[in-house]
Chain A
Amino acid sequence: MYRLTITAGQILVFVVFFLAWELIVDLLHIKPVILPAPSRIAEVAWANHELLLRNTWPTFIAISLGFLWAVATGFLIAVGIAYSKIIRDLTYPFLVTAQILPKIAFAPLFLIWFGFGLMPKVVIAALIAFFPVVINTAKGLTSVDSELLQYMDSLGASSWEKFEKISLPWAMPDFFAALKISITLAIVGAVVGEFVAAGEGLGYVINASNISLDTELMFAAIVCLSVLGVLMFLTIVLFERLLIPGGQQEGGVQATM
């Protein structure tokens, strides 16, 4: 019953938000070129649905590849950090510094370093999605209850068994929390990549609609991007539910969305 009421409430928040937006635009007579009303955006999105769908695909590919690359390398480095004091001490200051660095500022240079097309987009997406995976996963792996590990030692377990049976499951909630942050960053990265280095994709549509002051189309593309982002986020939540036994999930969906 509570679950149902909350779901209804969550939908209501969206409805109220869009209604308020529609009303404000209407009452203040704001021109669509400055801020279009949601109804107008929906109209334009429908009229251009072919263009939008065609451009969603390259963006999806760039986000996915960037994200997967970030997760794979991030996870491996996190394991290194968790199991080797030398790696940890050597790389940690560098990783933290690199995380703080505004990587997006390098975007125009990526065009020169990595050429045109998919590559620069994937690299930017991977680069900004990478750090939360490393840092969160390493934290998860290193915060394992030491008594549990001692218990495994007393049973004569191998290092691999300890990793697989104790550390890895222990780190899962932190790992998934990182994935949820990473996927949103990968979206930002891919779109920034498309701003500077692409002739297709939703980021390109957003930017290109600017020259004809087509604010409605720009919003329609942003809506598409948001829907794509939410779907990718929910896919991760689904995997989290499947892989982590109930009750252990990091905050659950409500807290993180």
Chain B
Amino acid sequence: MKICSKWVRFIGTTAVGLVAAVNTTVAAEKVSLRLDWVYGSEHAPIFLAIEKGYFKDENIDLNLMPGEGSSVTVKLVGNRDADFGYATADQVLIGAQRGLPLVATAVVLQQNPTALIFKASAGIKDIKTDLKGKTIGVQLKSSTGRQWEAIKKSMALDTKSFVEVPADGALVPLLTSDRIQAGIGFYFNDGLKLKATGTDAAWISFEDLGIKMYSTTLLTNGALIEKNPDLVKRFTRAFMRGWSYSLEHPDEALQAFMKANPSTDKIYAALKLPEVLKLTYSADVKANGLGHSTTADWESLQKQLIEMEIMKEKTDVSKVFSNDFLK
């Protein structure tokens, strides 16, 4: 009997030892994150989080991948080809309405970066009077084109007084070559790219013209939340830690980005990051913390998307976002 219990104890301690050994050597969870677009300094806080080891701290082995537009990113996350995605709120909402189980766990960019962009020399001050005789490049295959339609309507612009041309993906060269005098795009992309070429660029933000919209969000698949809510929490925490630190130390974030992407246009990258960081603020964020979002603002986004005919039917917005993983 004594021998027996000795054996039991021996086996017991060995087993505990083995479990402990397995625990310390357990591999970090492999998690993939698909961005909205190719790497740019708007993603600098993510590169900073990687460099600082924020993901490692949460036992996450991050596989970061560039994107090909938010519409592709939401499909990949919806189809579980990527665990997390970084994509615009409008595409998350439309994807959810189309049956993809998407949940935004943080609204990182709270403001709409769409703007009417032009050379300062074009002398556009008032959108109602100063567009006369101008040629405007519109990206018809982007939701920015639909926002422009909404602005034309809401501000009752005289559409006969200017010419609109399709200008997808080539706004900056069209502006510099004077093929167009103004264009609709993201000011932190096209506006600053224009500035980086040495041209004095200016813009009128659509947010200021009344199109208030959430922009880029961190999102995941509802099935992952159900299966592993702890991972979603840890991932969101590591991700947002990168953003909070970058807001305090933008230079470090820029350095982390440039180190990971040495061939980048450094002037453009340096111009872009501070503008992007500004977009993370809102009254709600001030009160409730970075990445927070409200039902009212998601509802308002949905209402605008339906008015712009980008979204065909309503969906239950309460299922599309969650603040639970920010706590």
Q: Could you list which residues of chain A lie within 8 angstroms of chain B, going by C-beta atoms? A: 31-34, 108-109, 111-112, 115-116, 195-199, 204, 207-208, 210-213
Contact = CB atoms under 8 A, between A and B. Distances in A.
Given A33-B98, A198-B166, A111 B174 contact: yes
A253 B290 CA distance: 63
Given A32-B98, A34-B78, A213-B98, A204 B169 contact: no
Contacts of B91: 213
Given A33-B99, A33-B100, A112-B177, A210 B311 contact: no
B314 interface: no
Contacts of A116: 165-167, 179
Contacts of B272: none
B278 interface: no
Main SS at interface, chain B: loop
A112 B174 contact: yes
A197 B168 contact: yes
A212 B166 contact: no
B177 A211 contact: no
Nearest to B135: A116
B205 interface: no
Contact of B170 (A112, A207, A211): A112
A31 B102 CA distance: 13
A188 B190 CA distance: 28
Given A112-B170, A198-B166, 14 more contacts: A31-B100, A32-B99, A33-B100, A109-B170, A112-B177, A197-B168, A199-B165, A204-B140, A210-B69, A211-B141, A211-B142, A211-B146, A213-B74, A213-B91
B85 to A, nearest CB: 14
B282 to A, nearest CB: 24
B211 to A, nearest CB: 15
Contact of B141 (A32, A109, A111, A210): A210
Nearest to A198: B166
A34 B78 CA distance: 9
Interface residues on B, range: 20 to 34
A210 B71 contact: yes
B277 interface: no
Contacts of B311: 212
Contact of B95 (A33, A109, A208): A33
A115 B312 CA distance: 34
Contacts of A111: 167, 170, 174, 179
A116 B311 CA distance: 29
A217 to B, nearest CB: 11
B173 to A, nearest CB: 5
B137 to A, nearest CB: 9
A212 B95 CA distance: 8
A214 to B, nearest CB: 8
B119 interface: no
6 contacts: A111-B179, A116-B166, A116-B179, A207-B141, A212-B312, A213-B74
Given A31-B100, A212-B94, A196 B169 contact: yes
Given A112-B173, A211-B310, A199 B75 contact: no
A197 B71 contact: no
A212 B143 CA distance: 8
Interface string B202-230: 00000000000000000000000000000
A198 B174 CA distance: 14
Contacts of A204: 140-141, 166
B71 A211 contact: yes
Nearest to A211: B143
Given A197-B166, A210-B71, A112 B78 contact: no
B79 A34 contact: yes
Contacts of B146: 211
A197 B140 CA distance: 9
A249 B208 CA distance: 66
